[in-house]
């Protein structure tokens, strides 16, 4: 399949793209000889983590991260488009992902919006250099889709705050220096008004990180238990009681509003589609290549059409007259469509593999190291995390279409 077309771009961007492309080819890290994670959701071992951290640092030092962040905080003050070019070229080159995704994509942009000058100077640059890794403390055992029912408490002390509670699905918690933490500061106040947003130091006493094992059998996912864990006065982001509003800012970034700001775009659908098309040309089933099966061909093209619609939609979204019916629709539906698309693509890859899909991690005969069934299972991280697809439909229905709230 031919290379993907990009939009016709101005000369200076095209030149920058060529520069990045050349750099990625020249600096692609060698195969480490051990299994690398497919995404930031499953960084298990120290050696995996260090490999990925070194890679991010190298990209930052080459000047390809934080392009759109202000220069005084370690960025370069360039247009966001330049950072997108880097993300696209990383996907194209098939190089490892950026391990500090939560810092780059969620925490960093939130601090840029809500942080004090001091917080911006303190936190942003080490996010880019991967010196300080971030995790997210939002979900709890009793607060998943209904995030505002968070019970973890932050109580005033003489010198700051003390946290007690239980967070789950805490990706990268064991490698993190910091956590963006949503906690209840006023149990008497309303469900939303009683919440505040903190930048919590993971090395505080009273913090226990326990691994959770995902359905793939892999770790990287954790729960964090806080037992009167202290943090300073300065840990508060924004105002007291503003936690829900700031958490919504983070979720917007998490769901793709920032379109890869800082450099945190996790994956690239177009690359995956090309790779599944390539897989169909290698995998044999029913006595022929999967690429010769009319049903599989049809389904692959359905996904190709969706993938092109997503890519072209990001261009269309920038022209207000072409989104006049519902100016927020494309942005608000992005997470839903993108995560469901990835899941369908991974599932289709498993079907294309036929019986080969039944060989699992560790079997040397597994095609592409069992990447495809593993990707299918991992895809649920995206359709559930950051607000399930069902919650996304509620949000789009209520905020974009003005449908009445679901009780």
Partner 1 sequence: MYPQLPVDFGFTEEHELLRQSVRRFLEERCPFSEVRRLAADPLGYEPGLWKEMATLGWIGLTLSEQSGGAGLGQLHLALVLDEMGRRLLPGPFLASVLAGFALEAAGSDAQRRRFCAPIAAGELLATLALGEPGASWEPEHVAATAEPVEGGWVLRGLKTGVLSAASAGLVIAPFVTPDGTPALFAVELPATGVAVEPEIGIDPTRRTARVAFDGARVGREACLEGPGLEGLRASFRRGYVALAAEMVGGTEAVLELTRRYAIERKQFDRQIGSFQAVKHPIVDTMVGLELARTHALAAAVALDQGAAEAEVAARMAKAIASDVYPTAVRRGVQLHGGYGFTWDCDVHFYFKRALWSRATLGDGAHHRRHLASRLLDDPTPA
402 part of the interface to partner 1, by CB under 8 A? yes
**Nearest CA among 197, 161, 193, 195 for reference residue 179:** 197
Smallest distance, Å, CB 388 to partner 1?
12
Q: Taking the complex as a whole, how short is the minimal distance between the CB of residue 296 and partner 1, in angstroms?
A: 9
- Which is nearer to partner 1, 157 or 328 (by Cβ)? 328
The CB-based long-range contact list for 245-248 (8 Å cut-off, 24+ gap) reads 246/110, 246/114, 246/197, 247/138, 247/147, 247/182, 247/195, 247/197
Per CB under 8 A, 5 contacts partner 1: yes
The whole-angstrom separation of Cα 43 and Cα 232 is 29
Rounded least distance, CB 287 to partner 1, Å: 18
List 145, 208, 302, 358, residue binding partner 1 (CB under 8 A): 302
What is the pairing mode between strands 221-232 and 207-212? antiparallel
Phi first, then psi: what are they for 40, rounded to 5°?
-70, -5
- Is 12 a binding residue for partner 1 by CB under 8 A? The answer is no
Total residues binding partner 1 (CB under 8 A) = 55
DSSP 140: B
State which residue, 23 or 304, has the beta carbon closest to partner 1. Answer: 304
Q: Does 353 bind partner 1 (CB under 8 A)?
A: no
Residue 146 found at the interface with partner 1 (CB under 8 A): no
Asked if 162 is an active-site residue, the reply is no
Q: Which of 42, 89, 132, 254 is catalytic?
A: 254
* Cβ neighbours for 211, distance < 8 A, ≥ 6 positions apart: 174, 219, 220, 221, 222
Determine, following the binding rule CB under 8 A, whether residue 403 of this chain makes contact with partner 1. yes
Residue 152, Ramachandran bin (φ over 0: left; ψ between -120 and 50: alpha; else beta)? beta
Residues numbered 314-343 forming contacts with partner 1, rule: CB under 8 A: 315-316, 318-319, 321-322, 325-326, 329-330, 333, 336-337
Length of the chain: 407
Q: At 163, which helix (H) or strand (E)?
A: strand 160-168
State the minimum distance, in angstroms, from the CB of residue 78 to partner 1: 17
Q: Which stretch binds partner 1 (CB under 8 A): 33-41, 260-268, 275-283, 379-387?
A: 275-283
Residue 14 engages partner 1 in binding (rule: CB under 8 A)? no
- 400 lies in the binding site for partner 1 (CB under 8 A): yes
How much is the CA Rg of the chain, to the nearest whole Å? 22
305 is a site residue for partner 1 (CB under 8 A): yes
Nearest to 126 by CA among 195, 53, 189, 192: 53
Q: Six-digit token pair at 97? A: 């992902």
CB burial readout 91-117, b (16+ within 10 A) else e: bbeebbbbbbbbbbbbbbbbbbebbee
282 touches partner 1 by CB under 8 A: no
Q: Strands 195-201, 178-184: parallel, antiparallel or unpaired by DSSP?
A: antiparallel
The CB-of-321 to partner 1 minimum distance in angstroms stands at: 5
CB of 403 to partner 1, least distance (A): 4
Pick from 38, 56, 152, 306: which binds partner 1 (CB under 8 A)?
A: 306
Q: Which residues are catalytic?
A: 254
Question: Which residues are near partner 1 by CB under 8 A?
Answer: 1-9, 277, 280-281, 291, 294, 297-298, 300-302, 304-306, 308-313, 315-316, 318-319, 321-322, 325-326, 329-330, 333, 336-337, 390, 393-394, 396-398, 400-407
């Amino acid at each position: 399949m031919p290379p993907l077309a990009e939009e016709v771009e101005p000369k200076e961007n095209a030149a920058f793209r060529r520069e990045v492309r050349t750099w990625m080819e020249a600096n692609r890290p060698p195969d480490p000889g051990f299994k690398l994670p497919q995404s930031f959701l499953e960084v298990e071992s120290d050696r995996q983590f260090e490999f990925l951290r070194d890679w991010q640092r190298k990209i930052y030092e080459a000047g390809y991260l934080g392009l759109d962040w202000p220069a005084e905080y370690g960025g370069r003050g360039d247009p966001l488009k330049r950072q997108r070019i880097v993300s696209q070229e990383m996907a194209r080159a098939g190089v490892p992902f950026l391990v500090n995704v939560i810092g780059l994509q969620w925490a960093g942009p939130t601090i840029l919006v809500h942080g004090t000058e001091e917080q911006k100077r303190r936190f942003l640059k080490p996010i880019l250099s991967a010196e300080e890794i971030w995790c997210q403390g939002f979900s709890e055992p009793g607060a998943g889709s209904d995030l505002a029912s968070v019970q973890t408490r932050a109580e005033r002390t003489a010198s700051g705050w003390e946290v007690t509670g239980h967070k789950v699905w805490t990706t990268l918690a064991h490698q993190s220096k910091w956590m963006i933490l949503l906690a209840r500061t006023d149990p008497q106040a309303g469900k939303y008004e009683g919440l505040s947003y903190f930048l919590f130091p993971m090395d505080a006493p009273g913090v226990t990180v326990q691994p959770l094992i995902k359905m793939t059998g892999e770790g990287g996912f954790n729960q964090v238990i806080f037992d009167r864990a202290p943090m300073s006065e300065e840990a508060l982001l924004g105002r007291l009681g503003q936690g829900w509003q700031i958490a919504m800012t983070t979720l917007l970034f998490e769901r793709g509003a920032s379109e890869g700001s800082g450099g945190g775009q996790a994956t690239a659908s177009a690359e995956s589609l090309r790779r599944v098309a390539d897989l169909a040309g290698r995998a044999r089933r029913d006595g022929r290549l999967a690429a010769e099966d009319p049903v599989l061909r049809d389904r692959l093209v359905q996904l190709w059409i969706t993938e092109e619609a997503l890519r072209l939609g990001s261009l269309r979204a920038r022209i207000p007259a072409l989104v006049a019916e519902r100016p927020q629709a494309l942005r608000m539906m992005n997470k839903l469509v993108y995560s469901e698309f990835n899941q369908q693509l991974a599932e289709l890859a498993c079907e294309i593999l036929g019986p080969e899909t039944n060989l699992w991690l560790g079997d040397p005969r597994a095609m592409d190291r069992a990447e495809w069934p593993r990707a299918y299972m991992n895809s649920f991280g995206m359709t559930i995390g950051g607000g399930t697809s069902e919650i996304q439909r509620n949000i789009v229905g209520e905020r974009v279409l003005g449908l009445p709230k679901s009780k």
